[in-house]
Chains A and B, each alone.
Chain A
Amino acid sequence: MNSLGDDCTELKKQYDACFNSWFSEHFLKGRHDDSLCAPIFKIYQDCVKRAMREQKIELREIDSEINTGEKEQQKPDHTKS
């Protein structure tokens, strides 16, 4: 399974492997601390967000399409220029 950004695919695979292990071995067993995969998640996220910017996919647009009723706080992206 690929990532949106070709250069993120390897990071995505490593993160997914970490997540799958955490999900079955920790989360489903009632241990909710999600710091195990946090370092790799951060690197993968930076890559995906860069790819989204490059491909002009805006998360804010995505969020505005969704009526979840539970709007999460979002960093105001306007500060970036």
Chain B
Amino acid sequence: MKIWTSEHTFNHPWETVTQAAWRKYPNPMTPSIIGTDVVERRVVDGVLHTHRLVQSKWYFPKWTNSLIGTAKTCFASERSTVDPQRKQMVLKTINLTFCRHISVDEVLYYEPHPTDSSKTLLKQEASVSVQGVPLCHYMEDMLTSTISMNAGKGRQGLEWVIGRINAEVKGIAESADDFLMKTKHSLDDMTESARKSMDEISVQAAKAAKHIHI
């Protein structure tokens, strides 16, 4: 088993980073992530628990195809908690598709930086294990370096999303009108119960446009 860890500081407050973390995909740096779905979500004792199914495409060298199969769409299960009191967001991801031979587990921790609370510290751990495949160690090394590369891209991707959120906040007054129009438009296709919630979104969007400031 190979274990890989890393730390990174974002020059943005925890609230901004966690908002961006939910909107991390899509971003141009990690095109391998092609879909996410929430399969379970609830608030328990003030902590938000979420279970997401993440679809991605991994590309392995051709010679590994006969060992682990061609990389098609892979599924990963991501369980996360957000505790706004303690200001901690934890995401644990395990891969589901090539479970038989290879397991890749990843944990991300987002917390305010211990010495500067206007910044956010990301701690990242990944473990890789390959079993029952010849050249195990070689494969583990290869996967570990892929993870290391992907982690860098993931951080760049998150920075890109934060940049977009900050730009949106600036432009939100103008775009809120547009958003309200679009929301109204889509109402036609929705059932009565959804209609109720979308009306609330419109109200929230209008409120957000008035009050938001980062």
Contact = CB atoms under 8 A, between A and B. Distances in A.
A66 B39 CA distance: 15
A41 B39 CA distance: 10
17 contacts: A1-B25, A1-B26, A4-B53, A4-B55, A14-B198, A18-B198, A19-B38, A20-B19, A21-B208, A27-B43, A27-B82, A34-B42, A36-B200, A45-B39, A48-B38, A65-B77, A65-B96
B193 interface: yes
A75 B23 CA distance: 30
A30 B35 contact: no
Contacts of A17: 201
A17 to B, nearest CB: 7
B114 to A, nearest CB: 20
Contacts of A27: 43, 48, 82, 84
Q: How large is the interface on B (under 10, 10 to 19, 20 to 34, 35 or more residues)?
A: 35 or more
Which of B23, B38, B197, B208 has the most chain A CB atoms closer than 10 A to its own CB? B197
Q: How large is the interface on A (under 10, 10 to 19, 20 to 34, 35 or more residues)?
A: 35 or more
A18 B38 CA distance: 13
Interface of B: 15, 18-19, 22-23, 25-26, 33-43, 46, 48, 53, 55, 75, 77, 79, 82, 84, 92, 94, 96, 99, 186, 190-191, 193-194, 196-198, 200-201, 204-205, 207-208
Contact of A65 (B82, B84, B99, B198): B99
B34 A34 contact: no
A14 B184 CA distance: 12
Given A20-B19, A65-B99, A48 B204 contact: no
A48 B104 CA distance: 25
Given A1-B36, A20-B19, A20-B22, A66 B53 contact: no
